A = this chain, B = another copy of it.
Amino acid sequence: MQCCNQLSPHEQRLQDKIEGKVDRYRATHERVFTILESFDNTRPRIDVERAKYFTESMKATEGQPLPLRWAKALMHIAENMTVYIDDHQLICGRAGYQGRYGVLYPELDGDFLGTAIEDLPNRAESPFAITPEDARVVVEEIAPFWKGKTYHEALNLALPADVHKLTYDDPQGLMSRFIVNETSSFRSSIQWVHDYEKVLKRGFRSIKEEALEKIAALDPMSPCDNVEKRPFLEAIVIVCDAIILWAKRHAKLAAELAAKETDPTRKRELETMAEICAWVPENPARTFHEAVQAQWFTQVFSRIEQKTGTIVSNGRMDQYFWPFYEKDLAEGRITEDSALELLECMWVGMAQYVDLYISPTGGAFNEGYAHWEAVTIGGQTPEGRDATNDLTYLFLKSKREFPLHYPDLAARIHSRSPERYLWEVAETIKDGSGFPKLINDEEVVPLYVSKGATFAEALDYAVSGCTEARMPNRDTYTSGGAYINFAAALEMVLYNGKMLKYGDTDLGAHTGDPCEFKTWEEFWNAYVTQHHLFLKTAFVQQHIINNLRARHFAQPMGSSLHDLCMKHCLDLHTPQIPEGINLGYFEYMGFGTVVDSLSAIKKLVFEDKKLTMGELIEALKCNFEGKEDIQQLLKSAPCYGNNDDYADSIARDIDALSVKYGRRYSPELGMHNDVRYVPFTSHVPFGRVVSATPNGRKAWSALSDGSSASHGADVNGPTAILQSNFNSKNYGMRDRAARMLNIKFTPKCVEGEEGSQKLVSFIRTFCDLKLWHVQFNVINKETLLAAQRDPEKYRNLIVRIAGYSAYFVDLSPDLQNDLIARTGHDVM
């Protein structure tokens, strides 16, 4: 049923812009629209200051305990880095140059930084600008020191040969094989949430005093107190001083600018900022503005401290800002609009920081300069009561009126979520910019309790990164996990341990010639063998990673905000922190692709015998050229995503392999290493190494993403996809983690009150089925095709990709086609 061209509000605003009309919300968001226009569409520029001062300090402290070295480096940066106050801004604090900027983290990739820096300006995906002088500093002053010292060089050497073969495609370990892909080498740690409430309620001076008291209480005679605890506590003191000093430098700059400022309004704004920055984050915040500034200083300093995967997330902002908002509102110090403006000043600050990936693999994983400092709203209080408040609705309002892909908004849903909350969530989703994503308390809370958290801790979780749930003072795991290409495992069954992409290289297990398999069980057992080989490879990787990382990365500021780190005087990167819960994971990539392929083989080759194994393989080898009939036959087999038990039972069996393996071997790693289905944008590069697959997928094209259906395979409507997700989960065991689920509606499908009502009931079904996550694109296929044809016009078209949104025109053609190919449901 071809629907008339009903546009989403977001599409409509774009249309208005193309026609030169002023955006209808500009008037009430004048300040932030002006700031946005100052940097939007500009090419991000590489800032070298952080890397320069970090390297200078690290050179001078070799041999000292790493947390202490890191803190001293942060102090050296805080003392020397240029501080800025942007025009029109009401909050201040940057990790680099004004405008869109990327920061270098030589501790990750210093060894090949010198060479990589040259081709950054002109690489296809996510290019960056760099000045000749800055390039010189990188090549001559920064890169040389790090040769032979970076984490990825150590990891590359430490991987046993059989594991290295499936991890990297080159001896130096720079090019991923995209089979069992490690993600720990392009970020210091995975997505994370700091305890910002601690900063607002106590301030860094109180944390410093806590450390000083602990130092005074150390036993001067004890070797452990002296060798382990003292350096850690000294690092805490130094890092607190560093962030306080850095903030005060902004106060000084604000006062100077105020003195020279002629415009009286701007003068008063600068004077206010000078007072605020002199007070926080050293002292507890007293007002909403101080709270927002203190949180922003902490967030930006975290970007200076280390490269956190997806950049550090923001926790439950509607909960920890609420007391300040409520009080200021009551005392007339603030209005709803002025509060919203302050928050949106933060959003445009976030949008200027660009997640710069030097390593080619990292870049392929996070297209569109992707980062998404998740802000969490809604959910429940630690006592299990509904947590929504007026601030919750202010965040949703900001998304509708000021459509920027920062922050990444996450709405927690539970069985008693108020009708008004679900309704406003649905309205915001219908807006069409992809926000918010939904995370389900009914799956996360009982699962985290089963993994050792108290109810109060689990009920207070904050969303982090794409889909993760973090308990700020209880979970302690920071190592990136493996992304495993199980479509490659399937291909290795077809070609006896080899893959067309890699020619004769002997990669997987020798499971024999599939043409000689008499029964489906034989084929299934061959798949199980390859599946287990990939899991063993990932677990061996993780074992080495867990022990190696603590020698290369430290996080004194992050540790100062974690109760267990302060209690046990251990840096957050320590593999085992007493009383901590290590919530690790590995990714299953290509779920829909593999399920549908196995379903096709089981049904067509072994049961209905409409096709021999030889014919199938022949068709695959020539990428269905001239074999379109076989391609269609394969596509006709039962597929995952249609609530069809034939396919969904295969999906559940595959999930069980990972869950049982995780249960059996995680204890050896001292962590929960549980199966997850959250791809970033890796389903595109992973697809590029997999030839044609038995579900009719063409060679080298994108795999299915997360726990979504293969493109076009879901023909029974969106609810069936929810049902298939439910059918394919092993709820009897706790060894599972997040599942990402993408759903695309046409604007027509969710149009009007009735559309909203259908969307609310869809969300309740998602909640009752105890699924982990769901997110939506509400957009017309025609708009995407138009944007491909005329990118300049559709500059600001935002689309939902994985755990985040990005400008459609910033994506690679492959990813654009992937989005276009996703089934656009026009009937719920």
Q: Kindly identify, within residues 651 to 669 of chain A, every residue whose CB is under 8 Å from any CB belonging to chain B.
A: 661, 664-665, 668-669
* Residue from B220, B532, B542 within 8 A of A536 (CB atoms): B220
CA distance A664 to B219 in the complex (A): 12
Shortest CB-to-CB span from A768 to chain B, Å, is 36
Interface string of A213-247 (1 = CB under 8 A from B): 00000001111101110110000000000000000
Residues of B within 8 A of A669 (CB): 223
Shortest beta-carbon distance from A533 to chain B in Å: 9
Please give the distance in Å from A549's CB to the nearest CB on chain B. Answer: 15
A694 to chain B, nearest CB (A): 27
> A665 and B221 in contact (CB under 8 A), knowing A63-B154, A157-B63, A536-B226?
yes
A34 on the B face (CB < 8 A): no
Looking at the complex, which one of B154, B157, B665 makes contact with A223 (CB distance below 8 Å)? B665
Nearest B residue to A148, CB-CB: B148
In the bound complex, how far is the Cα of B154 from the Cα of A228, in angstroms?
A: 17
Report chain B residues within 8 Å CB of A668. Answer: 222-224
Which size bracket describes the interface of A in this complex?
20 to 34
Closest to A163 in B: B226
Nearest neighbor of A62 in chain B, beta-carbon distance: B157
The answer to the question of A539 belonging to the interface, with a C-beta cut-off of 8 Å to chain B, is: yes
A64 close to B (CB within 8 Å): yes
- Taking the complex as formed, is A544 at the interface, i.e. its CB lies under 8 A from any CB of chain B? yes
| Interchain nearest-CB distance for A304 vs B (Å) | 25
A821 at the interface (CB under 8 A from B): no
* A536 touching B64, Cβ below 8 Å: no
| Residues of chain B within 8 A of A222, CB atoms compared | 536, 539, 665, 668
Does A535 touch B at the CB level, under 8 Å?
yes
Q: Which A59-94 residues sit within 8 Å CB-CB of chain B?
A: 62-64
Instruction: Give Cα A450 to B244, complex, Å.
Output: 54
Chain B residues contacting A532 (CB-CB under 8 Å) are: 221
Residue contact B63 to A540, C-beta cutoff 8 Å? no
Q: Which residues of B contact A160 (CB under 8 A)?
A: 226-227, 230-231
Q: Give the residues from 536 to 586 in chain A that come closer than 8 angstroms, CB to CB, to chain B.
A: 536, 539-540, 542-544
When C-beta atoms are compared, the residue in chain B nearest to A666 turns out to be: B223
Report how far A83 CA is from B587 CA in the complex, Å: 55
**Bound-state Cα–Cα, A157 to B226, Å:** 16
Q: Which residues of chain B have C-beta atoms less than 8 A from A157's C-beta? A: 62-64
Partner of A539 from B62, B223, B664 at Cβ < 8 Å:
B223
Cβ-defined contact, A661 with B224, below 8 A = no
- The verdict on A329 contacting chain B, using a C-beta distance below 8 Å, is no
Minimum CB–CB distance from A527 to chain B (whole Å) comes to: 16
Q: Specify the chain B residue showing the minimal Cβ separation from A161.
A: B64
Q: Which residues of B contact A515 (CB under 8 A)?
A: none
**What's the nearest-Cβ distance from chain B to residue A766, in Å?**
35
Pairwise interchain contact B542-A223, C-beta atoms closer than 8 A: yes
Chain B CB count within 10 A is highest, among A62, A227, A230, for A227
Which of B63, B536, B543, B661 is close to A158, meaning CB atoms less than 8 Å apart? Answer: B63
A272, CB-defined interface residue at 8 Å: no
Tell me if A156 counts as interface (CB < 8 A to partner B): yes
Interchain CB contact under 8 A, B544 and A227 = yes
Interface centre among A156, A226, A230, A536 (most CB of B within 10 A): A226
Q: How many angstroms between the C-alpha atoms of A36 and B157 in the bound complex? A: 49
A219 CB, min distance to chain B CBs, angstroms: 9
Q: Contact: A535 with B227, CB < 8 Å?
A: no
Interface 1/0s, chain A 660-680, versus B by CB < 8 A? 010011001100000000000
With both beta carbons as reference points, the residue of chain B lying nearest to A225 in the complex is identified as: B668
Minimum C-beta distance from A170 to chain B (A): 15
User: Across the interface, do A221 and B536 meet the contact criterion of CB distance under 8 Å?
Assistant: yes
Closest chain B CB from A144 CB (angstroms): 14
In the complex the two chains form, what is the Cα distance from A665 to B219 in whole Å? Answer: 11
Listed A/B pairs (17) with beta-carbon separation below 8 Å: A63-B156, A63-B158, A64-B157, A64-B158, A160-B227, A220-B536, A221-B532, A221-B536, A222-B536, A222-B539, A222-B668, A223-B539, A223-B542, A224-B543, A226-B543, A227-B543, A228-B543
Interface pairs A-B: 7 shortest CB-CB: A63-B157, A223-B539, A223-B543, A224-B668, A227-B543, A223-B540, A226-B540
Known: A220-B536, A224-B668, A227-B544. 18 other contacts (CB 8 A): A62-B157, A63-B157, A160-B226, A160-B227, A160-B230, A160-B231, A221-B532, A221-B536, A221-B661, A221-B665, A222-B536, A223-B536, A223-B540, A223-B665, A223-B669, A226-B540, A226-B543, A227-B540
